[in-house]
Chains A and B, each alone.
Chain A
Amino acid sequence: AQSVTQLGSHVSVSEGALVLLRCNYSSSVPPYLFWYVQYPNQGLQLLLKYTTGATLVKGINGFEAEFKKSETSFHLTKPSAHMSDAAEYFCAVSDRDSGGSNYKLTFGKGTLLTVNP
């Protein structure tokens, strides 16, 4: 079974500082990879995804993530944090096999990002 580890349940940064949220997966075959953001009392919004092609993926709101197969990682970054980035961020994976359960997302436990003025 796949698993997703998000290192750090809570990350705090200053406004304008670099944001780095870590995600590692355990799968012998690289899965599809996703980052979602959840604002308080709202649903999850897709930030970005990696399925194939370029390993550096750009998403919405200035976020990007890089798939590193050798490190089984898909860390999320943003050069300069904004107050509006304060939210919970979830990393998720799904099977690459089109004949299998590729619709099923496995989520990490989430990282709560706090942005200080």
Chain B
Amino acid sequence: NAGVMQNPRHLVRRRGQEARLRCSPVKGHSHVYWYRQLPEEGLKFMVYLQKENIIDESGMPKERFSAEFPKEGPSILRIQQVVRGDSAAYFCASSPRQGYYGYTFGSGTRLTVV
């Protein structure tokens, strides 16, 4: 059974470029969560999506960041016009339902902005 798959594993972008991070949930899971890990920090919640719906985006920066989970295909976290402060590890997790406690994370995408 494949777990949560994220790609790319590493992504380097120049300031001002766009970054697209992909997350394929566990097969059959319709709930996806994105977290960001800044250097020497714990993970911080960004957004919770169900298929075609954003349920909670309270942790997303107000500008430049967006997320989607289409009916078909992976979830995408999109960062426009990246800045150095966006350099972090971005992790995705999935669950079969809300209230499923202790979901497991993918291996993350490490974004470096140069």
A residues neighboring B (CB under 8 Å): 4, 9, 32, 34, 36, 41-46, 49, 51, 90, 92, 94, 98, 101-110
B101 in contact with A51 (CB, 8 Å): yes
C-alpha gap A12/B48 in the complex (Å)? 36
Known: A101-B56, A105-B43. A43 touches B31 (CB 8 A): no
Which residue of A4, A43, A103, A109 is within 8 Å of B99 (Cβ)? A103
B42 in contact with A4 (CB, 8 Å): yes
Known: A42-B107, A43-B91. A104 touches B102 (CB 8 A): no
Output the nearest chain B residue to A104 by Cβ-Cβ distance.
B45
Known: A101-B56, A103-B48. A108 touches B42 (CB 8 A): yes
C-alpha gap A49/B101 in the complex (Å)? 8
Output the nearest chain A residue to B91 by Cβ-Cβ distance.
A43
B42 in contact with A43 (CB, 8 Å): no
The 10 A-B pairs at the shortest CB distance, nearest first, are namely A107-B42, A43-B105, A43-B107, A49-B102, A44-B105, A107-B43, A46-B102, A109-B42, A104-B45, A43-B106
C-alpha gap A86/B104 in the complex (Å)? 19
Which residue of A45, A92, A103 is within 8 Å of B104 (Cβ)? A45
Output the nearest chain B residue to A90 by Cβ-Cβ distance.
B42
Known: A107-B43, A110-B42. 10 other contacts (CB 8 A): A9-B40, A32-B101, A36-B105, A42-B107, A42-B108, A43-B107, A90-B42, A102-B99, A103-B31, A107-B42
Tell me which of B42, B44, B59 has the highest count of chain A C-beta atoms within 10 A of its own C-beta. Answer: B42
A-B contact pairs, 5 of them (CB 8 A): A43-B105, A94-B101, A104-B48, A106-B45, A109-B40
B82 within 8 A of A: no
Known: A49-B102, A109-B42. A103 touches B107 (CB 8 A): no
C-alpha gap A110/B43 in the complex (Å)? 9
Chain A proximity mask over B75-114: 1 for CB below 8 Å, otherwise 0: 0000000000000000100010011011111111010000
